[in-house]
Amino acid sequence: MLRVLATKVQRVNRQGCVAVQSYSQHWPCLLPQHGAGKKHERPITLTDWQRAVVDEHPGYLVRGLFHSDGCRVQNRVTRNGKVYLYPRYMFANESADIMAICQGALDHIGVPWRMCRPNLLSVARREGVVVLDGVVGAKC
């Protein structure tokens, strides 16, 4: 980060991981999605260089999205008096653009998903959960 742009980089030890923090007035030059106002009220698109990185490493984007706006839960379903428990990933975001970026990245890594609501995506199929367990990992 220091080589690219940052004026300061910190490492903060957390349980199970190390958080890296960086500060610079010029991060918006590299990350133009950052801006004033609510994300869901302005367009969020990937630049060409960001798209190239995501196309080559979609799992990193998926991991970041689920760590910021997602969760892994135990879903509980009762059918004919019998209770079934199974893991499920959920991703929530009010921005249709961010939701579309997430959907595209999930498609790229072969994870089946469905929309529960316009702002809520679910990954509940066993094969998709297994892939996300390997890609997303534990949250810090």
Q: In angstroms, rounded to a whole number, what is the distance separating the alpha carbons of residues 113 and 50?
A: 23
- Show the domain range for 49: 44-136
The answer as to whether 74 is a domain residue is: yes
Count: domains in the chain: 1
* pLDDT at position 2: 72
Per run of 10 residues, the mean pLDDT along the chain (length 140 residues) is 74 85 75 67 82 94 95 94 95 94 97 97 96 87
CATH of the domain at 62: 3.10.28.10
H helices of the chain, where?
Answer: 27-30, 48-56, 58-69, 96-108, 126-136
The answer as to whether 22 is a domain residue is: no
User: What sign for the dihedral angle of Cα 60, 56, 133, 40?
Assistant: positive
The answer as to whether 29 is a domain residue is: no
The answer as to whether 126 is a domain residue is: yes
The answer as to whether 115 is a domain residue is: yes
Residue of 90, 95, 96, 98 lying closest to 121 (CA atoms) = 90
